Structure formats: structure tokens, C-alpha cells
Amino acid sequence: MIERKTCFIKKLAIIAISIFGLSNCASTMDELAGIGNITQSVSDFDNAKIIELSNSRNYNSKTFGPSTMFAAKWTSNNPESIILYMVYNGSVSSGDAYETFTGMKVNIDGEFRSFETARSTALSSGSYNTVTKTIYTKSSAPVIIPISYLKKMIAGESVKIRVLMIDTYEDIIFDVSSDSYGNTYSKVKLKELLEVINNDS
């Protein structure tokens, strides 16, 4: 009986270690891929401080993860606002090489607010990848969000975002911070960005 219990405990320990290892692996892979990284710089033009967040994952319970990622930028020239970029990474072979963003709607605990894109969607592509035999593409468009409202988004208990595109939309569950696979989502990364801004401003 004691041997069986010991064996069961060992199995639980192995499972726990495996999950922890997968979690750390996902986090490390994201860092190496440049996902969710915060960088700081100074403008050569006017010496303004610039703090940026690279593409960060979003969560949707119905799929493995939304195709739309969030990136962000803050400058000391406009300290009360954040530029939030909606980013879609596609490929020519996928059939959905590009998306055209028109804005987003935010639902914080039942209170709604809409944001239109500040400019048209920027489209770009890389060179032909001989390994995957495709061309990777990128679509990106910004919305301007007050920092006070971003803080409200992060503090909200139930926060959902509908990313609007020219002929469709994508729903994101923003209030989810992470999952059991070790993926950290944009809520956490944007909160980290705000902390860096508060420390440097």
C-alpha cells in the first residue's frame, strides 16, 4: 500500500515538473521570437522618450488563439495616450495573406466603447521563404487609447475586445492573463508596459 502511494506521488511530481517545464519553455520561446518584449529608446529628432511593446498574444476560448496580436507604443510627447497596434501575421499560402482593420470595440464589465483606426492598415511582406515555401505577410493598424482607459481595461473583471476588420471581426477575451501551457497574454504585457512608463515618466 505504501509502495503504491509512493509511486502515485512520484507520478504527480513528474506531471507537475513537466507542466512547469512546458510553461518555462513557452515563455522562453516567446522571448527568443521577440513576442511581448518591451524596449526603450530616445528619438533622434526631439529627444522624446519612446517605450514600445512588441507583438503580444491574445486569448480566445473557442480557438487556440486569435490571429490578431497587440503591440503598443508610448512617447513622452503624448504621455496621456497609448498607440495600440492591431497586428495580423499571415502568409501567401494560407489564403488570408492580409487583413484590413477598421477599429475595435471594448466591453469592460458591460460598458462599451469604440475606437476607430488612426490611419489605414499598413501592409508589408518579406521575401520568399525557401524552407516553408511561402511569403510571410503583415497587416497593422493603430488605435489611440487614453492611458486612463487602458488602466481601466487591465483592472476590469470581465473585459472583451472585438477587433473590427473590413468584412469580419475577431473576439478577444482580454481579461485572461495566461494559460496552462505557459502562454502569457496581452493584458499582462500591457500592464508591464504601464509599469515601465510610470517608472520612467
Residue 169's pLDDT is 95
Is 7 in the same domain as 89?
no
Higher pLDDT, 5 or 121: 121
Is 118 in the same domain as 22?
no
Residues 53, 34 contacting (CB under 8 angstroms):
no
Is 91 in the same domain as 19?
no
Is 42 in the same domain as 27?
no
Share of the chain above pLDDT 90, in %: 71
pLDDT reading at 18 higher than 80: no
Is 138 in the same domain as 195?
yes
Q: Mean of the pLDDT values across residues 150-159?
A: 98
Is 13 in the same domain as 41?
no
Is 50 in the same domain as 138?
yes
Higher pLDDT, 87 or 32: 87
Closest CA to 105 of 163, 22, 28: 163
Q: 168 exposed, middle or buried (CB, 10 Å; 0-12, 13-18, 19+)? A: exposed
pLDDT reading at 58 higher than 60: yes
Closest CA to 74 of 139, 152, 151, 146: 146
Looking at the structure of the chain, the number of domains it has is 2
Strands 111-116 and 38-42: unpaired
- Check which CATH number belongs to the domain holding 196 and give it: 2.60.40
Phi, psi of 123 (to 5 degrees): -115, 135
* Residue 8 belongs to domain spanning: 1-33
Is 65 in the same domain as 153?
yes
Is 92 in the same domain as 116?
yes
Is 19 in the same domain as 86?
no
Residue 194's pLDDT is 98
Is 47 in the same domain as 146?
yes
pTM score: 0.82
Residue 26's pLDDT is 46
Residue 155's pLDDT is 98
Is 58 in the same domain as 28?
no
Residue 60's pLDDT is 86
pLDDT, tens digit (0-9, with 9 covering 90-100), for 94-131: 878 999 999 999 999 999 999 999 999 999 999 889 99
Q: Tell me how far apart the terminal alpha carbons of the chain are, to the nearest angstrom.
A: 62
